[in-house]
Chain A
Amino acid sequence: MRVLHLTLLFLLLSVLTFAQKKKDLEKYNERAITARTEVWGWNIKAFNQPDLTNIDTKQSAVVLAKHIDVKVSSSKKLKASVFGFYVQRDIFYATTVREMVKINDKVALEEYSQFSFKKFRQLNGFRAKATTIIGVRIIKADGTRKEVKVDEEMVTEQDENKQQKSKLAIPDLQVGDIIDYFVLVEEMKDASGAIDQQIFVLGDDKPIKQLSVHCEISDKYSIRYTTANGAPDFKITKDDDGNVFDLLVRNIPALPTQLWMSPYRQVANIRMNVNYGKYVYGDIEVPAGSYRRNPLDGEIVSGARLGALGNYRYAGTPGPVSYVDGVRDMIKTYQRDRGSKLPKDSIPYYVFYAMRYMAFFRVFPDSKINVGLSRNLSDSDNRLFISLVARTLHELDIRSDVVLVTNKYGPADGELLEPGDFEYVLKTRTDKPVYITSASVFSHCNIFSTAHEGQNAIVTNEVGGAQKKDDPPFATRVKIPFSTADQNSHLEKIDISLDNKMEQLLVDRTTTLRGALRADGQKDLLLFEDYYEEERQALGIRESFMEKFADSRRNKALAEEYTNAFAQARKDQKDAFNSEVKSQFDATPKELTSYRIKNMGMRHTNPDFVYDTKFILEGFLKKAGNNYIFDVGRLIGGQLTIKQEQRDRKVDMYEPFARSFEHDIVVHIPAGYKVEGAEKLVRNVDNACGSFIVSSTVEGDKLHVTVKKIYKHAFEKAESWASMLEVIDAAVDFVGQKVLLKKA
């Protein structure tokens, strides 16, 4: 059950209130009765005579039948609704999802035993509201059917928004039963309101014996839809009111593993958009009463171009434009103080970092004091961010173009439905183009998001304008390159000596995080106080906010408060480092003796995040008579393991990005001992997917082990799974490796 959990912060969000009247409730109850009669009366054989043959009892639950019914408007068809009165003027739509599920175990019983819903919901917009009606029946093992008296069984609570929330615990539901339930949502909005996108996913984490869809959409509406990943097309007919879309699929197996999946690109689905009246945007025009199947990418692009231009214009309006002005002032001061102009090819970089400063680092006297690690998680609207950068660059005489790129975890080219399927990247129209993408506290300039790698992106010129004589040649396509395993690397340099009692590892370690592996580490460990100051100086901002506050009579006290808050954050940083060691070594350090950030890696010019830690680990040395077994393999930390049921994989792998992990370990062998078994550590797995290579040597009193694990690509075909397993398994196996410290 998805119960809304109440937190105080949530509680305090300002909200609309919606007190439903008694009359509404009466109407609701009447509607619920007719709705149940309608839905239970559906003439669908899979519900009426469920197929109970070949039930896979190894599955927690099996969906015997699922039907989604969508109705959009038509006063004729919707007379029965609670909102009947308004239908003439307003958008109305109703979605019913009915599912009949065979419960095979207690886990599924738990999943289906409680429902939580809101009978009434207030939506954004004038007169916009929604009702939810549910119906539940249970079919016992002996075939008897029982309808749950929903109204009698449910309890109602008031949530923080003063909206009523109903909860229903399903009575008399047991393992072996079949639950047959539906949820009907009816919504009314005015004609300008958007209708939620319908996504029909042909798959679930349980097998589905039959899935059907039926949509009746009045001719007052226009429809666009996209079939993806081999989803079959609708059968489309016409009735006296509009178009009717039907779909029937049988025997869909349970969805595969969660690891390295991109569901939009791997699971068959149909996305459908419905609009009131004619739909026109960009080059797409769908008249009311008509539909458009699988629109061409070019048509979607035309809409996205308009969107890019709209964002760009918005960035120039009062409010947003203050960011542009702010950056322009910063650059002026910077140049004045340096006594020279910035070279033109450096300007995009300065502007990017200045805009990042404006968005994430600036502090005002009335800002909430937030200087702890949680600040590092701040995010902003990427489209607005790049539009602000584009506008600033334009004022500095550098034009730039918006590049439209799909996210590899979203819909693919050829399966696009709407402009929002694209994300925006900015490309400067300079000899060496500079790409500007994700806006977050630690993002670098001229780095692509790894979610865009490998995508064939489209360059638009709405923002940049027509090609000029001196402009570099305009390419309409740009293939976003894949980053390499070398670029996205995690390096550990580990120096280990043993204590006199041969119980503890005294570890002196330097960690370097690069590329796409960098930002997570920075988020976990860096302090605002430190990176604020570094960036302020780099941008040539004359006075820090602390200095400003200290100099101001009004805000003097604030500087002291910030000093206190900084001190608190610095205390919390030690806990963060402790956790970092723990997660890397899968062992809680006995003591963290020191930690230090060597390089914050805030910019592409100095991109590595580097830090030192010194700490003590226990439990790695095992006593065997006079000798010791050293769990040297454990020093590479916990490794990805593949569960038994995941080992059989038939779907492609959407990995985050190519990446490498390297451990360079030196162990100082204590006097009086010699190492045995170092040669057994050597590994040499190297295939097309990745590699796991270990070298191990003993030189004098030092054991030197290097371990390198590489995932070579961001994407692998399913056929490569065996090779991938070879690398993964080799690393898991290595974790168990040991050497002997033998008393000489």
Chain B
Amino acid sequence: MTQNLKYLFLYICLLLCTLPASAYDDPEKNVTISSQEDRYEFVYSSDKDNPINIKQELKTTYVCNQFRTNVPFAVFYDDKSRIDEVRVYINNDRRKDIQPKYANYSVDDIFYSDAKICGLMLDLVKKGTESRVELEKTILDPRYFTAIYFPEIFPVTSKTVTIVIPRWMKAEIKEMNFNGANIVKKAEYDSKHDADIYTYTATGLAATQKERQSPGPSYKYPHLLVLSQSATAKTGEQLKYFNKTEDLYAWYHSLVNKIGDNETTIKEKAQEITKGLSADTAKIMAIYHWVQDNIRYIAFEDGIAGFKPEAAQSVLQHKYGDCKGMANLTRGLLKALGFDARLCWIGTDHIAYDYSIPSMAVDNHMICALNYKGKRYFLDATETYIGMNQYAQRIQGRQVMIEDGDSFILDRVPTRTYTQNTETESRTLRIEGNALVGKARHQWDGESKEFMLSQVNGIRKEKVSDALVRYLNETNDKYNITNLVSSDMETWNHPMDINYDLRFQGAVAGFGDDMFIEMDFRKEFGSYSIDTAKRTSDMLFQYKHHVKHETTLEIPTGYKAELPEGLTIDRDGYAFHISYKQAGAKVVYQKEIIIKNNWLEKSAFNQWNTDIQALNKAYLEQVTLNKK
């Protein structure tokens, strides 16, 4: 879904991962785009199926500032677009010998897509010289013409984006993230062609940056959203695109109507899964769990199939599907048992928009909604290990478009606080020689549980008993775990529980009459300081973490304890609490780390770094036991 946006993202990934191959090459300085002209025009076409096309003409001039090199040039296309021509000029000389290569574009997590790449390596022959690529591309259907981004992977000195909209075409242009960007707009009317011409001129655009855990491009970069609403075809026929959200839904809904689920097959399966269950909630949970556990997620993005869910019986038979297929199967199984289950379209938190914008750029995901006893639940079976009524960060608070016959319902996935994801660890320890010995208990819920289960299930089975241990002891063999007992790891509708015996060899440093003990083994977030010199975008945590820890240590007879000071930091987005206290002959160490908001803005980085430093300092504090 929303392929254009995804392509842009992929495009950036692709280009950045090829660049480090030439480590000597700092694209920021050595190569810049001196000028780029990007022109789009709505035109009539003789193709019956696609009567309106968009012709794109893109001219990009690269300049070599320091030393000769070559740069990749790539554009994406798919079943709904085609590359008409690519011309290469080196120092203004047309080079017919340089021809692009065309191929399917494959990425790791997408099994099959109709995305194709057209690319070439462009030589910059000398310092001060320019090379230029001119591209002509046709977008066949205005629905798929959604966004135009301004920045490139190289800094751009000057860029113009021109959109020619004949008056027979109704389209709206939305300016996104223009704040702080140096972009000037000009609107003209071309009376000869009866067309409006919009020209945006941007200067001094910084290069795009690929950073881990950062917001999607629609949050970060200036871009235009093009909303094609309707057109009068050459024949006089009125063509409707997406004038309102209703139109978008109508189109999606028309695709859903063509799915062709086989209700008998689905019903049989639903009954088989819920055999012996009588309570509604047990049935619902069983269905959700079955789809999570038995359907492998494989992404398909193939033309219209990128928007139309695969039939439920097909997903059932294949035992794999993409988000649409999994949502539709979940819906089918629940409906077969008489529940009110619906398909939902949703844009994950990777996308900055909601359905107030009628565009395919708004969503990228599908889930299933269940209305049960006056409440609405959302089921996303692509999240393999999440429990019922728990939501992954990426869909929390996101607007959903829920099918409702010919109309639709707009709702939001509930937002969960960090308490959904609480992970607790409590240890009761005593000293034996230079070891800490005792019992430990862990509990995970929500996304911390999902994370733990996906980690442990990702390790080969021959080591499964070791896999969990290694997850828990962070591969430190001195942190010796035995007698491990876990709650059922094959179901995840309850918090996950693990108990074990612990012997942490060498954890007690004895010097003379004193013993020194580090009460914290895990030191979560200790390595989370942010390189403010390099990082350009906000930081997103995978989810809202909530770590609770308590260690109780017996004070050996004849010793007295000297305790460090604790730490209390409480900010808007996060909190760190560490405390030590003595309770009778015991030292109690407590820690709580809360990420209240998974989105850490750049403006908070300095404070965050200071706080992480304080946290690290607190982690280095030791409990001292002195002989009385």
Contact = CB atoms under 8 A, between A and B. Distances in A.
Instruction: Answer yes or no: do A and B interact.
Output: yes
Interface of A: 3-9, 11-12, 57-60, 104-110, 113-114, 153, 155, 157-160, 162, 165, 167, 169, 171-174, 254, 368-375, 503, 557-558, 560-562, 564-565, 568-569, 571-572, 618-619, 621-625, 627, 629, 641, 643-645, 676-677, 732-733, 736, 738-740, 742
A557 B126 contact: yes
Contacts of A114: 111, 298
B158 interface: no
A9 B477 contact: no
Nearest to A741: B511
Contacts of B459: 107
A698 to B, nearest CB: 13
Contact of A171 (B23, B72, B320, B458): B320
B25 interface: yes
B511 A172 contact: no
Nearest to A8: B72
A561 B67 contact: yes
Contact of B21 (A9, A571, A641): A9
B478 A503 contact: no
A59 B462 contact: yes
B317 A7 contact: no
Nearest to A560: B127
Given A171-B320, A740-B516, 8 more contacts: A107-B459, A173-B319, A368-B68, A568-B67, A623-B622, A625-B624, A627-B514, A641-B477
A4 B461 contact: no
Contacts of A107: 457-461
Contacts of A369: 24, 67-69
Nearest to A561: B67
Contacts of A622: 516, 518, 620-622
Nearest to A633: B506
13 contacts: A5-B107, A6-B103, A6-B104, A12-B121, A114-B111, A114-B298, A155-B302, A368-B70, A564-B66, A622-B620, A629-B509, A645-B463, A740-B509
B389 interface: no
B582 interface: no
B622 A618 contact: no
B621 A732 contact: no
B296 interface: yes
Contact of A6 (B117, B464, B617): B117
Chain B: number of interface residues, binned into ranges: 35 or more
B471 to A, nearest CB: 14
Contacts of B458: 106-107
Contacts of B29: 568
Contact of B117 (A11, A618, A629): A11
B103 A106 contact: no
A732 B317 CA distance: 51
Given A9-B18, A736-B478, A158 B622 contact: no
A370 B22 contact: yes
B30 interface: yes
**Could you say which of B126, B127, B460 has the most chain A C-beta atoms within 10 Å of its C-beta?**
B460
Contacts of A174: 294, 319
B279 interface: no
Nearest to B461: A105
* Chain B CB within 10 A, most for which of A59, A155, A571: A155
Contacts of B506: 733, 736
B523 to A, nearest CB: 9
B126 A561 contact: yes
Given A171-B318, A374-B21, A732 B477 contact: yes
A625 B562 CA distance: 7
Given A6-B103, A172-B317, A561 B66 contact: yes
B74 interface: yes
Given A172-B317, A370-B22, A11 B461 contact: no
B475 interface: yes
A171 B518 contact: no
Contacts of A171: 317-320
A11 B119 contact: yes
B66 A371 contact: no
Contacts of A621: 620
B104 A157 contact: yes
B112 interface: yes
B24 A113 contact: no
A224 B586 CA distance: 75
Interface of B: 14-15, 17-18, 21-26, 29-30, 66-70, 72, 74, 101-108, 111-112, 116-117, 119-121, 126-128, 294, 296, 298, 302, 317-320, 457-464, 466, 475, 477-478, 506, 509, 511-512, 514, 516, 518, 562, 564, 616-617, 620-624
A338 B464 CA distance: 69
B28 to A, nearest CB: 10
Contacts of A558: 126
A3 B68 contact: no
Contacts of A158: 102-104, 116
B509 A738 contact: yes
6 nearest CB pairs, A to B: A372-B24, A157-B104, A105-B461, A561-B67, A564-B66, A624-B622
Contacts of B26: 568, 571
Nearest to A58: B462
A113 B320 CA distance: 10
A742 B111 contact: no
Nearest to B111: A169
A502 B23 CA distance: 38
A623 B564 contact: yes
B308 to A, nearest CB: 16
A136 B103 CA distance: 28
Given A158-B103, A369-B67, A676-B512, A572 B624 contact: no
Nearest to B506: A736
A670 B14 CA distance: 52
A562 B107 CA distance: 36
A624 B117 contact: no
Nearest to A5: B106
Contacts of B624: 624-625, 627
Contact of A59 (B107, B120, B461): B461
A221 B181 CA distance: 72
A629 B66 CA distance: 51
B475 A641 contact: yes
Contact of B67 (A5, A169, A565, A625): A565
A368 B126 CA distance: 11
B41 to A, nearest CB: 29
B101 A12 contact: yes
A3 B111 CA distance: 9
B268 to A, nearest CB: 15
B477 A565 contact: no
Nearest to B531: A588
Contact of A740 (B117, B511, B564): B511
Nearest to A739: B511
A8 B18 contact: yes
A629 B108 CA distance: 46
A522 to B, nearest CB: 16
Contacts of B121: 8-9, 12
A374 B319 CA distance: 45
Q: Which of B23, B67, B317, B506 has the most CB of A within 10 A?
A: B67
A320 B117 CA distance: 39
A209 to B, nearest CB: 16
Given A105-B460, A369-B68, A568 B30 contact: yes
Contacts of B68: 368-369, 561
Given A561-B68, A676-B512, A8 B119 contact: yes
Nearest to B454: A106
Most chain B CB within 10 A, of A368, A374, A624, A739, is at A624
Nearest to A157: B104
Given A167-B112, A623-B620, A557 B101 contact: no
Contacts of A254: 462
Contact of B66 (A11, A565, A742): A565
Given A12-B119, A113-B320, A58 B511 contact: no
